[in-house]
Structure 1
């Protein structure tokens, strides 16, 4: 058991190391493409769309690979594919080559996620899975933060090639991540996951026929729309253009969110260990309704917009500590026999889809001068998520009762 814990630790470090590398590139990617390489804002915007499209296209294949191939092999090869995509991003000189590299990176990342999640599940007893995914979440957030700090020293946005040191750093981190993942999981026994059970007829149609999985996907889409889909575009645009906060204040808010996520995740997981996952998802949605009310308060001319924005970003972190640790273990529990990878890929695809369409919805509302509509949309998503989460809890409880009856 202790050996398994060491291998899990190495696996989580490897996963976090990949986040360190990408964190050195992501905050500067838009400016590098639009300004340093002189390709323009539209090319930079489409690049982020290409990431999402790559992930959406690859998600179905990612689930099948995680179920039918050795997850360690899939995760390692996909991480090496990310290395090649990062190098291609660094040297792309035209819009088409840039978009192709972004598409490839998004696809490789989509393949990495379910296979890595399966590896974490295989190395973790069922009772400790929330904790394992909590530490993975903490590591990835800290990795992105550390990477952003390193990237700030490596990039030079005054020349077209000034960001290449950051891309090189990201490529090295991704390669090292692949090595650590291979070392940690090369001898995984795959003891008790449904992924081991042959079920050739359980494809994505079979996954979507499970009512609890459908409700989980609905909750995932709605909560992603209300939070993560807004972090990179809608929420910053709202804070800067509508609430007129300073860019430095926005940066402080993002930093507060990252620090609180890292600090609160482990304690929250310990305190909520016996709480049903569906209840935690509903609680997360309730908290985020409060967050959007806080973020809307400055429109009532209460002043101190910066304080409300920092507080809102901070409160977001509390919900994140409930959502991230339970989502993957819950998906694995609901997965049909032999379709764990497909179920995890479906959840990842739902998150990617919401992340892709969220900025468009928020951009439309803010562009039309409807900031209240922008906030109301996020609150509506949270309200619907509460209803779906409670329904998920009832369906899952009925499924569990049926399983006990069959076993008896």
Structure 2
């Protein structure tokens, strides 16, 4: 780890984030906002649709939503192996087809068995979709600008969700179930442009990557061996803890605390989520410009500090329950949390994919995806129990302490295990790829190559 490093003397311009991407990367980004407009149509209304339109009890609705995340956990691990065998493009085509089918099933979920089927298809597709997308992107976007892609993707994703949420709020009417069906069908249609891209203009990308050892497709490499690879154990722990104190709480714990302790209105909660989306859309490219060339582990530490501050702001909402001040503090919590998101999203995926050998990229992303999904199941359970039993102060302390664990894992463990390239720095002698003496997959198997081949940009 003693390879000399240097930081860029000038920050990249905002416009260069788009122009420096290869054509394939720009095409992939071009459909993100449209696809997530569909997601935004249905995302705020899952509970309303299942409870008020389909008349399932709230207990059953909770189990259905938890089951959707559980399906993602179940599929993420075998999905990673599938990606390595058939290539990320084919895997992603399967994900998009299953997503279309799942949303159509949900539009006509008139009874519990159909709803269970639809949720399982949607959740299972997400479990494979995340590692598929990351592996696909990493096959066409060079390492040195990969973080830019992930950051721009996250900004466009949130832009789409925000637009979709606004449209959904204007469309839905609980007195007219057909409006909800239209939204789920609209979400299904939103996946079609991406499917077209992969079938026609991008049909040449994302093929299975050959290894350079005795095993042509790395088929004998197990997940246990991947977990033992340099830095992967720490990275999986970091992914789990950050997801537990982060997204799992933003989507469940924060609304529960805001309603039960802060006593804010549903409109106030909606404003908080709108503020979260707005901050991401406005700041992501600026943050990308500021963090490029800096140690990714240090960026994660800053993110942990920012998230800890956001949970303190959430706690402040309980000091003046039911007031305008409470609504302000919840919105401030969501906004500050969003700043942390703009630091995380370009960083963690880039580390994973700089560590991963090309022919094992699906497994690396599948493993970290499974950690994220598991935290998404456990987080709401812990939040609901602690807030429901009056342990709201202890709940906040757990979140702040968890942010401390994230910072420690990042700078106290992961930073010592990463080579400069995986940590976002460029060596003084090479532009891309980890130094040969630092082998991302070296400890997996003696037949796995000790270095990652340069990414083909085509």
By the TM > 0.5 criterion, same fold? yes
Aligned length in residues = 407
Deviation at 1:18, TM superposition (A): 2.4
Given candidates 377, 394, 403, the residue that maps to 2:437 is 403
The 5-angstrom pairing of residues 271-282 of structure 1 reads 271-282=290-301
| Structure 1 range deviating more: 390-399 or 65-74 | 390-399
Structure with higher helix content = 1
Given candidates 61, 64, 82, the residue that maps to 1:65 is 82
Distance 1:308 1:4, change over 3 A: closer
Deviations for 1:347-373, whole angstroms, at most 9, x for unmatched residues? 111111111110000000011011101
Distance 1:187 1:401, change over 3 A: closer
| Residue matched to 1:346 | 367
Measured in 2, the distance between the counterparts of 1:31 and 1:235 equals 18
Deviation at 1:401, TM superposition (A): 7.5
SS of match in other structure, 1:20: helix
Deviations for 1:159-213, whole angstroms, at most 9, x for unmatched residues? 4444111111111112233213434531127699979974333221111112411
- What TM-score comes out, normalization by structure 1 length? 0.92
| Residue matched to 2:8 | none
The 5-angstrom pairing of residues 17-166 of structure 1 reads 17-166=34-183
Measured in 1, the distance between the counterparts of 2:316 and 2:392 equals 12
Deviations for 1:201-226, whole angstroms, at most 9, x for unmatched residues? 32211111124111111111111111
Structure 2 gap ranges (5+): 1-17, 423-433, 440-449, 452-458
Q: CA RMSD in A?
A: 2.6
The answer to whether the 8 A contact 1:49-1:356 is kept is yes
Deviation at 1:9, TM superposition (A): 1.7
| Residue matched to 2:312 | 293
Structure 1 gap ranges (5+): none
| Residue matched to 1:228 | 247
SS of match in other structure, 2:346: helix
Measured in 2, the distance between the counterparts of 1:195 and 1:207 equals 17
SS of match in other structure, 1:24: helix
Is structure 2 residue 238 aligned with structure 1 residue 209?
no
Given candidates 329, 347, 354, the residue that maps to 1:333 is 354
Deviation at 1:397, TM superposition (A): 4.1
SS of match in other structure, 1:93: coil
Measured in 2, the distance between the counterparts of 1:236 and 1:269 equals 29
The answer to whether the 8 A contact 1:202-1:338 is kept is no
The answer to whether the 8 A contact 2:84-2:361 is kept is yes
SS of match in other structure, 2:31: helix
The answer to whether the 8 A contact 2:84-2:208 is kept is no
